Structures are given as C-alpha cells and as structure tokens.
C-alpha cells in the first residue's frame, strides 16, 4: 500500500518521511483563491513563496505533491472575465511550483487542467462523492487520473470491488478521518469549509462551525457513532489491498509533525496498540497547530464572548476521557464484507453497538457535562445569540 500524507509545511517533516511508504504529500496555501476542505481558521499561514520552496524540496526527495483546489463552489463566478482569469493564473502558478497533481471537486476543472496544463495529473476529490460505478466512469472519462473515494463507502466492500473492476485510474481512500457515517451535515459542511478557505470571499474566512458542533455532540451522546465512522485501522490495510485500493490518504493538514509521523508509522507497521482516538480527527491536547483565531474574533459580525464559549467546547480534548481499545477491534471489519450498511437499519442490526460496548470506554460524568456544553453551544448559534440577538 502507498500513502499520501497531509503537509503542515514543515520542512523537517520531509526528511523524516525518508524510507516510509509515503509516496507524496498534499496541501494548499493559506488564503487560496479557490479554497478547499479546511477553513482558513485552521490551516497554517503559508503563502505562495514558502509553498513553492516546500514543493521544490518535496520533489527533490522523490516525493509527489498534490495541490488542492477542491472547493465545492466558486459563487457562480467561474466563467466570468475576472474569476476565470484568476483561476487560470492560479493553476499556472501551481504548475510552476513543480506540483505533479491537483485535486478538484468541480468537473469543469478536470477539463480545464487537461486542456491547458496537460502535464498535471488530476484527482477527483472525496468532496465529489464518487460512490458508485456510474460516477467513477464519468470522472475517468473526463480525464481523472485518480479518484479519492468518499468515506461513506470505505466499508462498503461490494461497491469498492465494483468500482475497482470498472475503472483503470488510481483509487484512494481516506484512512483516519472520523466523519459521521452517512453524515446529514455533509453538504452544508463541504460548502462551509470551501467558502471559509477562499481568499476574498464575502465571509472573510469567518465560519462558526455548526456542523462540527453537531457532529462532535453526537459522538459523545452516542459513542456507537465513533465505531460507525468509517475510518480504516492500520491492521486492516491488507483488506483494502485485496480490493485493489492503490493508496490511503492520511490526514490532517493542521497536525504537528510528531503527530503526523505517529500516524505514518502506525500504518507503515500495520499495528497500533494505543488509543485509536489518537490517530483520528478528534480534538487532542498538543497535537494540532494553534488555530488562526483572528479569523473568528470578528466584533463586526458576532459577540466575541459567545464565540469563545463555542470554541472552548470544540477544542475539548477527547484522549483521557474517551478510549477506543484498538486491540478489541481485531477482526471486526470482517462483518462488513457480508452486510449492506447503506440499506440497513442500524437499530435492527446492532453490530456496531456491540463493538462499541466492548471497545469504547468513556468518562460518564465528562460525557454528561459535555453533552450539556454542546447543547448550549448549539443554542448560541441557532437562537442567534452569537449575533447579538437576545433569547
């Protein structure tokens, strides 16, 4: 199995990837005009000059670089005089850095890149939600060299087999994300983070993350959601090799170098004896880079003390309070080869609930307190308190 890892733009990360199965890195500058999958609040403040140098160093080491232009929406401006020129100039800059691939969500970008920048490979983003053969064929016919499949089908082995049999392009899955299974917040969240990362967007990078609040609350209220979330354990990599998955994508772009390397080594060894929470995209103390809080401390838009209350809830660390015993998950994925979760009532099945009962331990007092704090944070948003409306 090959791996693609997020970059935090730390040159020290490159040297320490030598000898690992990582084939390339992916990332995006801060204030990118096209935006992507992480808000400006979180990603490192790295501009074009620093990024170009980093990409050059990446290529010198024989690693690929996949530049992300996977925003879901360009405000319907993409075919206007000014915006089209900006898009073309930005891709021209990306090509000049030595990046060998771009990841896109919008189909017209595949056609544009293949016609105007033919030396660049193109990956269809997981945001494109290519979850069946029909969609996979469309993207490959348009020219996609890689399809990053959505997390929603990571345990749908029948669909994975069918897609693999249908297309010749590379297939990639995200390994350590912790999104809700069949997330009801998905469309809202993809658009939120896309606009929240675009330079010169009307929101100015401001985006109170209602979706993340609702998501984290459910994982604490119903711990089974942590099991249903379709992450891939290091121990189960071979099952995806058997399906024909070419590459696994390791996140997160705002993790520190030590944490990124911990993830790489766990998947390289195909073994992790610790708390699985530590490999996933859940809040952790000292693991993630400091957020760019000035993006949300906007007194012209919101009440700062209310935003502070919301952010404190979002940043509450899970390790120490939530433990997923990875050893108690050995063999649990075999079940998913025999069932169709997309068409099943989880309440009647009960499999993930039984796994959660044996593998997850959670501080009950903390759980109750946090559900209350999440409820309060969501109330601040949905009643308009954050905008100064009185309840």
Instruction: Residue 163: name the closest of 149, 177, 183 by CA.
Output: 149
| Residue 139 near residue 128 (C-beta atoms within 8 A) | yes
pLDDT of 355 over the 80 cut: yes
**Helix boundaries (H) for the chain:** 11-16, 48-60, 81-96, 107-116, 133-142, 157-166, 186-195, 210-221, 224-228, 237-243, 257-269, 304-314, 346-349, 351-359, 364-382
Task: Provide the domain limits for residue 344.
Answer: 2-387
Q: Cα separation of 303 and 386, whole Å?
A: 5
Q: Cα separation of 289 and 119, whole Å?
A: 34
Q: Cα separation of 372 and 233, whole Å?
A: 31
CATH number at residue 338: 3.20.20.70
What six digits make up the tokens of 166?
């249908």
Q: Cα separation of 247 and 284, whole Å?
A: 26
Strand partners, 148: 172
- Rounded to two decimals, the pTM is 0.97
Per-residue pLDDT tens over the stretch 245-263: 999 999 999 999 999 999 9
Three-class DSSP category at 126: helix
Instruction: Show Cβ contacts of residue 278 under 8 Å, excluding neighbours closer than 6 positions.
Output: 262, 284, 287, 319
Q: Cα separation of 14 and 6, whole Å?
A: 11
Helix axes 304-314, 364-382, angle to 10 degrees: 150
HEC-encoded secondary structure of 131-173: CCHHHHHHHHHHCCCEEECCHHHCCCHHHHHHHHHHCCCEEEE
- Backbone angle region of 280, left / alpha / beta, with phi > 0 → left and psi within -120 to 50 → alpha: beta
Residue 391's pLDDT band, with cuts at 50, 70 and 90, is low
Per-residue pLDDT tens over the stretch 190-203: 999 999 999 999 99
DSSP 9: S
Instruction: Residue 120: name the closest of 111, 129, 131 by CA.
Output: 111
Strand partners, 171: 147
Phi, psi of 43 (to 5 degrees): -80, 150
Strand partners, 146: 123, 170
Give the per-residue pLDDT at 195.
Answer: 96
Residue 207's pLDDT band, with cuts at 50, 70 and 90, is confident
Mean pLDDT of the chain: 97
DSSP 30: T
Instruction: Residue 337: name the closest of 270, 247, 239 by CA.
Output: 239
- Mean pLDDT (whole number) for 349-359: 98
Three-class DSSP category at 382: helix
Distance of CA 39 to the CA centre of its chain: 11
| Residue 288 near residue 255 (C-beta atoms within 8 A) | yes
Q: How many domains does the chain have?
A: 1
Count Cβ neighbours within 10 Å for each residue of 339-372 and write b for 16 or more, e otherwise. eebeeeeeeeeebbeebbeebbebeeeeeeebee
- CA distances (Å), origin 21, targets 3, 25, 307: 6, 12, 41
pLDDT of 149 over the 90 cut: yes
Instruction: Residue 60: name the closest of 29, 25, 104, 103 by CA.
Output: 25
| Residue 58 near residue 66 (C-beta atoms within 8 A) | no
Instruction: Residue 18: name the closest of 364, 268, 348 by CA.
Output: 268
Three-class DSSP category at 324: strand
Give the per-residue pLDDT at 390.
Answer: 74
Per-residue pLDDT tens over the stretch 77-123: 999 999 999 999 999 999 999 999 999 999 999 999 999 999 999 99
């Amino acid at each position: 199995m090959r791996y693609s890892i997020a970059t935090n733009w730390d040159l020290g990360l490159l040297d320490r990837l030598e000898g690992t199965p990582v084939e390339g890195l992916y990332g995006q500058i801060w204030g990118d005009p096209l935006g992507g999958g992480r808000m400006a609040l979180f990603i490192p403040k790295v501009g074009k000059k620093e990024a170009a140098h980093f990409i050059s160093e990446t290529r010198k080491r024989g690693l690929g670089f996949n530049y992300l232009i996977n925003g879901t929406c360009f405000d319907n401006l993409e075919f206007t005089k000014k915006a089209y020129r900006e898009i073309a100039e930005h891709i021209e800059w990306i090509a000049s850095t030595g990046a060998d691939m771009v990841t896109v969500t919008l189909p017209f970008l595949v056609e544009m890149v293949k016609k105007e920048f033919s030396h660049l490979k193109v990956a269809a983003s997981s945001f494109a939600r290519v979850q069946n053969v029909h969609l996979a064929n469309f993207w490959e016919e348009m020219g996609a060299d890689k399809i990053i499949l959505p997390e929603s089908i990571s345990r749908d082995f029948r669909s994975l087999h069918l897609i693999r049999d249908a297309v010749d392009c590379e297939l990639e899955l995200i390994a350590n994300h912790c999104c809700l299974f069949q997330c009801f917040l998905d469309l809202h969240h993809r658009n939120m983070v896309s606009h929240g990362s675009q330079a010169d967007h009307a929101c100015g990078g401001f985006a109170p993350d209602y979706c993340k609040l609702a998501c984290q609350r459910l994982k604490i209220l119903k711990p089974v959601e942590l099991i249903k979330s379709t992450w891939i354990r290091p121990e189960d990599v071979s099952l995806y090799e058997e399906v024909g998955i070419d590459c696994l994508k390791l996140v997160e772009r705002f993790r520190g170098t030590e944490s990124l390397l911990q993830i790489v080594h766990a998947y390289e060894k195909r073994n992790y004896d610790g708390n699985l929470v530590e490999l996933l995209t859940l809040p952790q103390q000292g693991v993630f880079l400091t957020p760019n809080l000035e993006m949300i401390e906007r007194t012209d838009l919101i009440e700062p003390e209310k935003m502070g209350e919301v952010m404190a809830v979002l940043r509450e660390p899970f390790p120490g309070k939530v433990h997923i015993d990875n050893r108690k998950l050995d063999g649990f994925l075999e079940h998913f080869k025999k069932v169709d979760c997309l068409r099943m009532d989880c309440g009647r099945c009960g499999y993930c609930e039984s796994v959660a009962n044996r593998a997850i331990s959670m501080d009950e007092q903390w759980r109750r307190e946090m559900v209350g704090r999440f409820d309060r944070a969501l109330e601040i948003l949905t009643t308009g308190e954050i905008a100064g409306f009185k309840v």
